């Protein structure tokens, strides 16, 4: 089967350290992507979870493969089927590469091994990642602030009702 890869490139008018916080702070990730238990530590196994939605799996299992702050982050991505009898797909790999460019950051996003999921899933990921990078991640970046300890994310960039997922059954501490 042919190897399928999704590639996206975006420029953000913020330094790489600020973009790094937006893609690694679990509270920030919960606002622009999904509730999670992410930690930027090689070998850490984590998940993304949402309420069940039509045409979408609601649970993703991942493992951190590479952490090089604030330049590169990579992890596996396995969608877990709603039907427990159905086997999970082979892992995809998500890689974020941040490069200083002028007064901002060039973010290169790559998701490999998309041939492991159905065509409709690939189309939804292509649209979804584009929406998240163009609109939601930009809003989250505005809430990354400098404080006495360095940079940190201040929750509240995207209200719960405006996020790309539903979270009625997700514990509050994972979505706030």
Q: Given this model, what pLDDT does residue 83 score? A: 64
Q: Given this model, what pLDDT does residue 107 score? A: 98
| Residue 52: pLDDT over 90 | no
Which of 167, 169, 171, 173 is closest to 34 using CA atoms? 167
User: Domains of the chain, with CATH numbers?
Assistant: 5-163 (3.30.530.20)
Which of 152, 82, 156, 74 is closest to 113 using CA atoms? 74
Distance from the first to the final alpha carbon of the chain: 41
* Number of CB atoms found within 10 A of residue 173's CB: 9
Q: How confident is the model at residue 170 (pLDDT cuts 50, 70, 90)?
A: low
pTM > 0.85: yes or no: yes
Q: How confident is the model at residue 53 (pLDDT cuts 50, 70, 90)?
A: low
Q: Given this model, what pLDDT does residue 153 score? A: 94
Q: What is the pLDDT of residues 71-101, one digit of tens each?
A: 999 999 998 766 666 666 789 999 999 999 9
> Above pLDDT 70, what percent of the chain?
85
Characterize the bridge pairing of strands 92-101 and 104-112.
antiparallel
């Amino acid at each position: 089967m042919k190897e399928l890869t999704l590639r996206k490139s975006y420029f953000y008018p913020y330094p790489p350290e600020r973009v790094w916080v937006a893609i690694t702070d679990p509270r920030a990730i919960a606002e622009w992507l999904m509730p999670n238990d992410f930690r930027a530590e090689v070998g850490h196994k984590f998940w993304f979870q949402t309420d069940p939605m039509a045409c979408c799996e609601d649970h993703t299992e991942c493992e951190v493969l590479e952490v090089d702050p604030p330049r590169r982050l990579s992890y596996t991505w396995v969608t877990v089927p709603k039907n427990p009898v159905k086997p999970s797909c082979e892992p995809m790999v998500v890689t974020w590469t941040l490069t200083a460019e002028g007064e901002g950051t060039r973010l290169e996003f790559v998701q490999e091994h998309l041939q492991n999921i159905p065509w409709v899933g690939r189309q939804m990921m292509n649209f979804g990642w584009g929406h998240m990078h163009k609109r939601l991640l930009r809003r989250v970046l505005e809430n990354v602030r400098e404080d006495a300890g360095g940079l940190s994310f201040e929750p509240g960039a995207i209200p719960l009702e405006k996020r790309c997922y539903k979270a009625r059954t997700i514990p509050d501490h994972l979505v706030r």
